[in-house]
């Protein structure tokens, strides 16, 4: 199952980008044998300032056709790491070929795009900047693959 991370905004060179790249590489290495990956990261920018509706249109165009969708949203479901791993495994085992995670901009994700999601996922009750949300999501993707692979990375 190919995994996509579609996000509003560009990560510039720096510690956040280094972490995202590191966790994405780890996910690809660990997930390959599990039928997970590769992880593709697509960044979009609304240069015309059209707000969340314009961002949603750009995000929708970036999504693979027929991809299952997980929207990161502060009002979404909170999960622990084993639950997220089980969710990824369930999508994979159900025959999902593409799974896309969507991270909106400063104002979140447009309601229509959020309504299309198979799951709204919260990283907790706090709101996080998009660059940190990407770091946390890619770490959790790697952690999920590590859990499914039975490696000692996750020590719960």
Per-residue confidence in pLDDT tens, the chain, 156 aa: 999 999 999 999 999 999 999 999 999 999 999 999 999 999 998 777 788 999 999 999 999 999 999 999 999 999 999 999 999 999 999 999 999 999 999 889 999 999 999 999 999 988 888 889 999 999 999 999 999 999 999 887
- Residue 142: inside a domain: yes
Instruction: Give the pLDDT confidence of 3-19 residue by residue, as tens digits.
Output: 999 999 999 999 999 99
User: What's the pTM value of the predicted model, to 2 decimals?
Assistant: 0.94
Residue 154 placed within a domain: no
Contact 143, 34 (CB under 8 A): no
Q: What is the rounded distance in angstroms from the CA atom of residue 135 to the CA atom of residue 7?
A: 12
On whether residue 155 sits in a domain, the answer given is no
In a domain, residue 156? The reply is: no
Question: Could you list the residue range(s) of the whole structural domain that residue 14 is in?
Answer: 2-149
CATH code of the domain containing 74: 3.40.1280.10
Q: Does 80 reside within a domain?
A: yes
Is residue 14 situated within a structural domain?
yes
Count up the domains in the chain and report the number. 1
């Amino acid at each position: 199952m190919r995994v996509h991370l579609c996000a509003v905004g560009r990560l510039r060179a720096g510690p956040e980008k280094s972490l995202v790249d590191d966790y994405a590489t780890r996910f690809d290495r660990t997930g390959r044998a599990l039928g997970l990956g590769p992880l593709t990261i697509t960044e979009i920018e609304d240069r015309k300032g059209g707000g969340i509706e314009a961002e949603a249109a750009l995000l929708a165009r970036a999504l693979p056709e027929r991809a299952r969708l997980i929207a990161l949203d502060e009002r979404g479901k909170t999960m622990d790491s084993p639950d997220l791993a089980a969710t990824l495994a369930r999508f994979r085992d159900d025959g999902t070929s593409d799974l896309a995670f969507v991270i909106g901009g400063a104002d979140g994700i447009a309601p229509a795009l959020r309504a299309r999601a198979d799951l709204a996922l919260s990283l907790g009750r706090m709101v996080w900047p998009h660059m940190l949300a990407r770091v946390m999501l890619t770490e959790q993707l790697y952690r999920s693959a590590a859990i499914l692979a039975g490696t000692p990375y996750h020590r719960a």
